[in-house]
Every structure is written in structure tokens, then in C-alpha cells.
Amino acid sequence: MNAVAALVRRSIALALPPRCPACGQVTEADHRFCPGCWGGLRFLGPPWCASCALPFDHDRGEDACCAVCLKTSPAHAGARAAVAYAPVARDVALKLKYGGKLAAAETMARLMLRLMPADADLLVPVPLHRRRLWSRGYNQSVLIAGSLSRVAEVPADVDALVRTRATPPLRGLGRRARAKTLKGAFAVPKAAQPRIADKSVVLIDDVYTSGATADACTRRLLAAGARRVTVLCWARVLDDAHD
């Protein structure tokens, strides 16, 4: 039976070889990038801002904060991202979000795992409004959270946070306008509050841009009793022009 199973796996591998998650070139194994795309990924991590986790070019000290956080700190305990938002990272995100390439969620999760907070109790994905969910058929953040839950062995709760109303795109809006647009757009259902009470929550998303959505979600989770909320995503926009 083992020999037959091995033969079947080899046949499948020949017919459907693993491909680069970004460009589609044949690779050695699933979720592996080709050399060119791998070289196009900029991996993020410390040293970073002690408040928002914005990467620094050099170590400024454990408690150093970026200029923005010195004025106003975010509600969350840092937005950690596996990679910087750039062409390769963007292609993977778009293939998952709009291209139906659901396996990309596991690709992302595997590279996000190294930045999982040590005290993580619960993964909560950023929710979509029901109309967006019906049109797309799935929530990419839920898929990422599910994959990350399996590899990190941290439970995910896809119902802990809901989107109560649809909101227009935030692109081009200032900080205050973004916050106003998202006011009241998220809620923690009463039934979910005991599940997040006093928990160190990790908010999962695909791309972190201005931080307005993450802040709005974080405030609702903290108001519902979460002890701490850290954002963990696939890619982070480091150029304000992309906001």
C-alpha cells in the first residue's frame, strides 16, 4: 500500500508540480519561492519601533519609538509583518485575495510564524462585511488565521470580531478621516466576549497599510476585555504612497 501511495504522489507531482507562489515557476516543493522571487522579498523584524513595530534601519535601543508613535501611539502592541509590501509580496497577496489561490494562505502563514508573539492566546482575523464576503466567497484573513493556527498550535476564533457595516476605501484619506470612516464598523458579539476576556490576542490580516483598520479592530477587542492585541500580517506598506 505504501508503494502504491508513493507512486500516486509521484504521479501527481509530475502532473501538478509545485510552483512558486508569486510567479508560478516550477519549484522543488510546495510553498517554496523561485530564486528570483525569493530575492525580491524583504523580510522584516527587529530592530523595530517599540510601539508599532515599524522596522528601523539600525538598532536604536530596546525602548526606541518612531516619530509617529512619539506623537500618538497605536492602540495595538505592534504591527508585525513577515515581509515589506513590494511587487513579489503584492503578487502573492493579490493571488489569494482576488485570484482564488487559497494555498497562498499557508505560504504566508509559514513565513509569518517566526513573528508570532510568545504570549499569544488567540488568533482573530480581521473580518469582512457580509456583502464583500458573499461576492468574494471567502475572507483571506480567515484562511491565513486557520493556516497559522495549525502551524503555530494557537487557536483561532473567526467569530470573535464582526464587521457591522460596509465602509468605502480608505485610500487618499487622512488619519482623522480614516478613523471617522471606520468608527463603529467593528464589534465583538456578546457571546464572544468571554472567549477573548484577558487573552493576548493576535489580530491577523494580509496587508497592513495605514493602520486605521487594525486600530479600529484593536479598540473593539480591548473594550471587550482582551488583555493585549498584537497585529500579525503577511506584508506591511513602508511607503506612505501606497496608503
Over residues 72-126, the pLDDT tens digits come to 889 999 999 999 999 999 999 999 999 999 999 999 999 999 999 999 999 999 9
Q: Does residue 80 lie in a domain region?
A: yes
Confidence of residue 173 (pLDDT cuts 50, 70, 90): low
Q: Does residue 27 lie in a domain region?
A: no
Q: Give me the number of domains the chain comprises.
A: 1
Query: What is the model's pTM?
Result: 0.89
Q: Does residue 97 lie in a domain region?
A: yes
Grid coordinates of 55: 522596522
Confidence of residue 12 (pLDDT cuts 50, 70, 90): very low
Q: What is the CATH number of the domain that holds 200?
A: 3.40.50.2020
What's the chain's Rg over C-alpha atoms? 19
* Domain coverage including residue 222: 40-242
Contacts of 83 (CB under 8 A, 6+ apart): 41, 42, 43, 44, 89, 111, 234, 235, 236
